[in-house]
Structure 1
Amino acid sequence: MNRAPSSSRLAQRISIGVAGLTLIGAVGLGGYNLASADVADGDRPIFVPINPCRLLDTRADVTVGGRATPLEGPEQITVTAHGSNGRCTGASAIPNDAVGLSMNVVSVRPSERTFLAFWGSGPNPGTANLNPEPGQAPTPNAVNTPLSPTGTFNLYNNAGSVGVVIDVNGYYANHNHDDRYLTEEELGEETQALEDSIAAVGETVGVLGESVDSVEASVGTIDQSVDALEESVGTISETVASLDGSVVALDDRIDTIEDNLPVMATGIVRDVADATPAIQQFNGPLGTTASLASGADGSGAYTVTISGLDAPIDGVVQVTAFGDEEPGVGSRASACSVAYPVTSTTTTFSFGVGCFGENDALAGNVVAEDTSFQFLIIG
């Protein structure tokens, strides 16, 4: 089993931790904006930048805004800002909700020392936004002015003749400063809460790292168990293969034993005086029967036929004679073995007094009365 090196796992954990801290930061601060002023909620102007546009140019050769002559002091004019005016059109037009302008103002060719003042509505505040002097090169200055409720502002030249160029770079519009904006105290509380969250994430990352180590140790143990199990399975497979071989050998041995088991049949032929000899008892393989044919009055040979064998059998017959005609003779074992054929499932064999010696009670081809012959077939 392939596993990531320790350095890779450490890098993964660090990545997880950083991602978690980034997420906490995004969730913790993303819903708030910071207000620098300690104010209650309500409408407060915010600055909206636009592409700079020229609202007024009093020079005769480049007139913009409808006036082509300098201001002659003391003179006050009213300039309209809302809507499309001068070159402030299209995307740079000043919307009707603007409450102030951010401008860049240039004085051109003043005839004497003077000052220029800008304001929204009401009386002249008497303040100076620019201080032009004769012989002075065109002089710019940043000017912010409120607008009247109708969207205009006032421009005043105190003395002499002076041209004025006004470029607008943005406007101010009211914005509701609701509870999304934090005070300094609230910001401190949120910052502390964020730091606590970051610390908790760090602890969680540490616990996750320990859990990863524990899981890896468990995986190692499982790997070892799997290896041991595979070895055991291999041993079992070898044992099974060996047992299979033993079973095959045992089957072969059983077949050999079965092939070599003797087919046995036993019987007793009894010859009683003045009676026809008969098979008194027969024990043979299942399904077999035995029949007897013999010479008249006990003379000649006895012929036994066994039928119903499963298969031809090659073997010998051993015969033992038992008689009581001559006192003290008792039973005598036959000295002859008779072979029988193997060509069919019916076998026939014969035996008689000729199997015994001259000194036996059965010699002379005459069978004594009450004589029994026991035959045993060994295949």
Structure 2
Amino acid sequence: MAVIPFNLPDLGEGLTEAEIVEWHVSPGDRVVSGQPLVSVETDKAVVEIPSPWSGTVKALNAETGEQIAVGAPLVDLETDQRVDQGQIVGDLEGSKPEVPKTAQSLSVDRSSKPTTGPVRAAPAARALAREKGIDLETVTGSGPDGTITRADVVSLAGTETRAGWEPFSAARKAMARNMAEAGAQVVPATVQDWADVSSWISPEADVLVRLVRAMAKAAEAEPALNAWFDPKAITRRIHETVNLGVAVDTDTGLYVPVLQDVGSQEANQIRTELDRLIAVARAQRLGRQDQLGATVSLSDFGPLGGAFAALVIRPPQVAILGAGRVSEKVVWGENGPEPRQYLPLSLTFDHRAVTGGEAARFLNAVLHDLEHPG
């Protein structure tokens, strides 16, 4: 039997790190090849990583919530299987001298420790050492039994972490990258208006479902905004179906799951799928398929506050609609002043691909559907 370290495998698409969401095993557990070991989140998608071999879990080398790099130690497995290192996804060539093999199994005398071999270190210390490019073999541990603490790594690095600063979660990192990409590429313009929703608004009204339906109707009336734009080829692709990205605010960051083909669904079907997507987003369980293929987006920020907004479009999409908080306004009616309920709308579009006229027609179609009582 041999204890073999299994490193975080390459998850594709140029991703370099992932955040541990949930361990499905504990030290001492017996696992079989293909059994899920851990769920990790990367670029907002949660992925299960299976065991490459059958054996016994000896050590977990990262904690829930910790971000680790591709190729870093994930779990140590004791196995009697013949392991072909060349076939293990994520076992990076030349990485072994730089990474520790186990987090728990040995107590090391730091005054006479060997130059190679296992190193006992806290997960936070390992994460910081990776960030700073520090070989843990060069760090003297001050913790119990010579365990390397985060303070030991900070001391060796010669820098102090800034009080009050915290690293971004995987979701917030993805948001930062996506917003930077959008800001660098898109030429945004915004049109705004008020929808008179007095005929149907009530505490029980499902405003979000009405907005989804209105987006589908507007895309049918003005398809130019239900499109993708390729700036290199200066071409666009207008979609026949509306796959609507819906912004969801969570404690860990912004997610945009996608409602597929909303124009073909009834209100109850839309609500059921919305409930599912919002629940899995807030539980950090969104799969990649739940986030692919958006042709246009919607942000219903009204329940949180605010009226109008200049929103951010994520390429290759060309438009996003924002809905603010419903407000009461007094207008002049047939019998004099009367209170009415208005929903503020902001339509941001990529002016490289969409004309002002197309945007106005799309917004008018949204207004027309929202102001209908049914």
Range of TM-score over shorter length: under 0.3
Of Structure 1 and Structure 2, which has the larger fraction of its residues in strand?
Answer: 1
